[in-house]
Amino acid sequence: MEALIPVINKLQDVFNTVGADIIHLPQIVVVGTQSSGKSSVLESLVGRDLLPRGTGIVTRRPLILQLVHIDTEDRRKTFEENGIDGDEWGKFLHTKNKIYTDFEEIRQEIEAETERLSGTNKGVSDEPIHLKVFSPHVVNLTLVDLPGLTKVPVGDQPNDIELQIRDLILKYISNPNSIILAVTAANTDMATSEALKVARDVDPEGRRTLAVVTKLDLMDAGTDAMDVLMGRVIPVRLGLIGVVNRSQLDINNKKLVADAIRDEYAFLQKKYPSLANRNGTKYLAKTLNRLLMHHIRDCLPELKTRINVLAAQYQSMLSGYGEPVDDKSSTLLQLITKFAAEYCHTIEGTAKYIETTELCGGARICYIFHETFGRTLESVDPLGGLTTIDVLTAIRNATGPRPALFVPEVSFELLVKRQVKRLEEPSLRCVELVHEEMQRIIQHCSNYSTQELLRFPKLHDAIVEVVTSLLRKRLPVTNEMVHNLVAIELAYINTKHPDFADACGLMNNNIEEQRRNRMRELPSSVPRDKGTAGGPQAGAEQVDGGTGGWRGMLKKEDGMPGDKNAFPSSPMRGNAVNLLDVPVPVARKLSAREQRDCEVIERLIKSYFLIVRKNIQDSVPKAVMHFLVNHVKDCLQSELVGQLYKSGLLDDLLTESEDMAQRRFEAADMLKALQKASQVIAEIRETHMW
């Protein structure tokens, strides 16, 4: 058990070398108000005067004090290695291997190091000072001396000095592996002890709090600390221990700590004879040593797990940073090849890092083709933007000056081209969406797949520029192809398309039905062919005469001359007619024939539009895949190699970011420290000490 504390000291040394506080090692944290006697307690445990003295805040930086018990063999070895002849000495972490045998010099170094960071204006700093004291007169302990709790700023101290000190104390005592040594003066009210109050904030059950009552010899006459030391006033689970400090006069007179401990023992025997063997500095040292050993034993399993987890994390971190580059040419080619492969794998869906929060790469391209683009095309109304008046106007314009007996085919072609043209915009938008996704894949590969690129920001930027340029060059080519796909459909309206046959049959049947209906409506006196009695002339005359003939029918149906309502009043009647005016179509009720003609054209347009839409929905994704996606996949690596794999660019492209080398160095050091700490704990286990 006794060997556990030196093990923690070894671990402390290991982590001190890397300046790490990620591991919470077991230690004793000393807490108290200003002038409560904290420094005197620590000096009594060390047995030497080594801490700064004065009024106000003297301790302004945490002091991590490691007490190491040494024997004769240790002293002899130190003398042989360093030429130091003495029983006691000290070493600071910040002065490396310098050994101090004069404890007055140690005090001066603490003061100088405190002022170096905290200044001379009584300010505080959370940067600790590490001091290790070797002596045959100490027990193995690790103690942390903190600034005393205060309420009012003095001198040039900031107004929030109370909050700063409290936060600093909480930082150390919040460590679950720490033991809190709450120091309170006996001549103050224990019920209002600031040290015990702050200890309860983080240790409400008191499982790791030990109270020390100082200045037992300075209590008012007629009073004593019997109830306090017996735990009747404030119960503390780990106990209360009373001590007697040296007075300021004793310190000024250079009274030795050993003499003070002797006088303390005499005072306790006289004033508290029944409690003398459970109080005093020597008993405090033994108690702290015992508590710390048991505490270390309880903490070691969790400590071992924590060290192993951190070692794995830093190993992964170091792997991510990569090794220093020796062969730049080979490294550049490997990075380019890996990026190109990961880019292609992301499109194909075989990437190592699969995105789980959203569609990415090839899956998103597939979604664009079959969901976004497909639904957009299906939402395009075959007759959208086309009114019945538009259809009727197109039919009339296609007949020229001659009235038509049948629906002109030219009107169908004119209108269907207008509708097919509407498919071009969503097709080009599909190309744009795929292009944007292929641009996003670059960032995906940089973030997830090829983290090595983060080491070389210039190479990363160059790769992004090359791929972006390649995509930019393929965009107009792909757009042109998609534009041509629509233009091809517009170039030739194939009314003989197999899927269009039924629609054409419908049109022919409709026209035939119109012809039969017209023939049925003719009066019996009208000849139906040239063999009618009276010959052609007679037939023509019959037709010309009466309202039941062709001309009469056309007058009624189409508003031909002869109908007094067909045209405006004659100029002879006083109203002028401007023949240059263009008639504007107005909403009106269509005749039966007009209705039938418009319905036929609309059906034909819809039927042919659906055929073309199906073709576009199939051919646009194929064109995008061939001219954009597959072309980029096939040419990406050759393009990257051709643009970047040049001897003149090697040094520039493989320049690491400014902090990458530093982070790699720090991670490597931390990993070594964690591995060494793991070995230390493993050695403990092998010797069956826990």
Residue showing tokens 């290991």: 14
pLDDT, tens digit, for every residue of 407-447? 677 778 888 898 899 999 999 999 999 999 999 988 888 77
Handedness of CA 414, 416, 422, 424 (dihedral sign): negative
* Tokens linked to 104: 């007055």
Question: Could you count the other beta carbons within 10 Å of the beta carbon of residue 236?
Answer: 19
Query: Minimal CA–CA distance to 29: which of 2, 64, 78?
Result: 64
Contacts 24+ apart (CB under 8 A), 553-560: 553/521, 553/522, 554/403, 557/591, 557/593, 558/403
DSSP structure class, residue 225: S
User: In sequence order, what are the residues at sequence separation of 6 or more whose Cβ sits closer than 8 angstroms to the Cβ of residue 464?
Assistant: 442, 446
| Spans of the chain, pLDDT less than 70 | 1-5, 7, 14-21, 54-56, 78-85, 121-122, 155-156, 353-356, 403-407, 448-451, 501-515, 518-588, 684-690
Question: Could you count the other beta carbons within 10 Å of the beta carbon of residue 447?
Answer: 12
* Tokens linked to 327: 């062969």
CA distances in angstroms from 624 to 215, 351, 360, 480, 671, listed in the order given: 88, 22, 17, 11, 50
What integer pLDDT is reported at residue 16 of this predicted model?
64
Identify the bridge partners of residue 69 per DSSP, sorted by sequence position. Answer: 135
Q: Could you give the angle at the alpha carbon of 187 between the alpha carbons of 186 and 193, nearest 5°? A: 65
* Tokens linked to 598: 């418009």
What integer pLDDT is reported at residue 561 of this predicted model?
41
Q: Could you give the angle at the alpha carbon of 265 between the alpha carbons of 260 and 268, nearest 5°? A: 120
Helices 660-686/4-16 angle, 10° precision: 170
* pTM metric for this prediction: 0.58
- Strand 141-145 to strand 129-135: parallel, antiparallel, or no bridges (unpaired)? unpaired
443 by Cβ neighbours in 10 Å (0-12 / 13-18 / 19+) ranks as exposed
Query: Minimal CA–CA distance to 249: which of 53, 82, 408?
Result: 53
Residue showing tokens 């420094």: 39
Question: E strand or H helix at 102, and its extent?
Answer: none
Identify the bridge partners of residue 29 per DSSP, sorted by sequence position. Answer: 144, 180
What integer pLDDT is reported at residue 169 of this predicted model?
92
Question: E strand or H helix at 89, and its extent?
Answer: strand 89-92
* Tokens linked to 98: 């310098």
pLDDT, tens digit, for every residue of 129-146? 999 998 888 888 889 999
